[in-house]
Amino acid sequence: MISTGDTLPDATLTQLGTDGPEEVRISDKTKGRKVVIFAVPGAFTPTCHSAHVPSFIRTKDQFTAKGVDEIICVSVNDPFVMKSWGEATGASDAGLTMLGDASAEFTKAIGMEFDAPPAGLYARSKRYAMLVEDGKVTALNLEESPGACEVSAGEGLLDTI
């Protein structure tokens, strides 16, 4: 599993652009930049929808004040779902970047995948938030339970950095 001090592996995520799905390389998003990446088990799932995304909408200005260039939400969902979810939560209007990791390539590469069969969730991402500076993880807050959103919330990450 990825840890503070590690360099992120490169992976390709997707977002919905004006002409359809577009590939987004993690390395392009993080090189020479200060970026927050937070991940959720699933778009539109209760804690993710009502707590996790709203916490980063609330704290976006505080992250900007700390020099963060971009806040990225990652979920093992397709880019169509991520675009709709960004619109439904107000995350897109707030300036958060919603990226899909449909094949869980990035999630598996950093060791954050898990299954929750009772909820119908397979190969999903654990709930975490990290600060990445020039591709290196400088802070990582991982939730013990996928239903919790405390240390991985915007406020929790702000307290760490």
Residues tagged active-site: 48
The residue type of 12 is T
113 DSSP β-pair partners: 125
Give CA–CA dist 8/135, Å, rounded: 6
Give CA–CA dist 39/16, Å, rounded: 18
**How do strand 70-75 and strand 20-25 relate by DSSP bridges?**
unpaired
Length of the chain: 161
31 membership: H or E segment, kind and range: none
Give CA–CA dist 50/88, Å, rounded: 11
Give CA–CA dist 160/152, Å, rounded: 10
DSSP string, 11-31: -EEEEEETTEEEEEEHHHHHT
